[in-house]
Amino acid sequence: MTKANRLPVSFHMSFQPERHYLCALLSFAQKRTTASVEEISESTGIPTGKSTGKVRPLLQYAQGMGLLNVEATAKTGQMTLSLLPLATIVLREDPPLLEENTQWALHLMLCRKNGGAEVWHSVFVNGAEALGNRFSERKFNEFLANRFGSSSDSIGPLIRTYSDPAGLGRAAAISQKNSFIELRKVPTQPAMYDTVGALFFLIWDTELPENTQIALKELEVASGLMAATGWSPQEQSQFLTEMERLGWVKVDRQTGDPILTRLIPTNKILKVMYDRLP
C-alpha cells in the first residue's frame, strides 16, 4: 500500500465547497478535457484572480471528493480534467448535489485516508476515535493544536461547510453549539447503505484492486471509511448484512473479523446508488 496522500491543511484557501460551483465544474469537465484556470473561470463563473480565487481550491475539493482527476499538462498553465465514476453517476442522478446521500458521499470521500483531505481525515476519523462523537470546544482545540500546531485556523471552513445550505448542509456531519462540537453519523437507512456500499467498492478498487476477497479490517486500515460513518460495530454489521442480502458481497464471519468476497462489479452498484431514496 502506498503512503497516504491527502490534500494539505490549507488547500481550501478558506473557501468552502459551494455546490453550484462544483456542479458547474463537473459540467465543464464533461465537455472540455483540457483547460486553464482562467478558461474554467470564464466558462463556469467561478471567480478567480491573478494570485487567488476559487477555481484551484474547488478543483482540489472535487479531487478529494472522488469526482475529478486533475493533471498538469506539458503546456504551462493547462490541465487535463477527467470525470471519475462517482461524478458520472452524480451528474446523471443529482447534478445540483442536493440529495442528502450525495452530500454524505462527497463528505466521506473527503475523509479517506488516501486521496481525501488532511483535516477531514483527522477530524472525522482520528478525532472521532480520540474524542467520541460529542466533545467540548476546548478538547477539540487541544486535539487540533496537538496535530497541526496552535498558530493558525487549521480547520478553516470545515464547520461552516456543514451548516451552510450552499455547502453540504444536508449532510450536517459536524455542528457547533454552546461550546460543544458534535459529529453526526451517517443515517442507517437503505439509501445510505447503498451510498456507503458504492463508496466501499470504489475505495476497494483503488486500494486493493487485485483482491476479490478482503478483510473488513484491512480495508478500514487503508481507508478509515467505517470510522468516518460514525457507525457502531453493530451498525457496521447491519450494513454488511444488507450488502450481503443485496447480493453484492459474501460475508464470512467465522474468524471474528468479517471477510468479504466481491460478487458484482462496482459499476453495477453505482447504477443503483440512487434507487432507494425516500
Please state the pTM of the whole predicted model: 0.94
For the domain covering 190-271, report its CATH number.
Answer: 1.10.10
Output the pLDDT for position 155: 85
Mean pLDDT by 10 residues, the chain (278 residues): 74 92 95 89 86 87 96 83 96 96 98 95 94 94 88 82 96 94 96 97 94 94 96 96 97 90 96 92
Q: Is 176 exposed, middle or buried (0-12, 13-18, 19+ CB in 10 A)?
A: middle
CA distances from 274 to 10, 78, 190, 244 (A): 33, 35, 10, 18
> Which residues partner with 135 through β-bridges?
181
Q: What's CA 213's distance to the chain center, in Å? A: 24
The HSE-up count of residue 251 (CA atoms within 13 Å, CB side) is 19
For the domain covering 19-93, report its CATH number.
Answer: 1.10.10.10
Output the pLDDT for position 66: 97
CATH 1.10.10.10 domain extents, the chain: 19-93
Output the pLDDT for position 240: 97
Output the pLDDT for position 1: 37
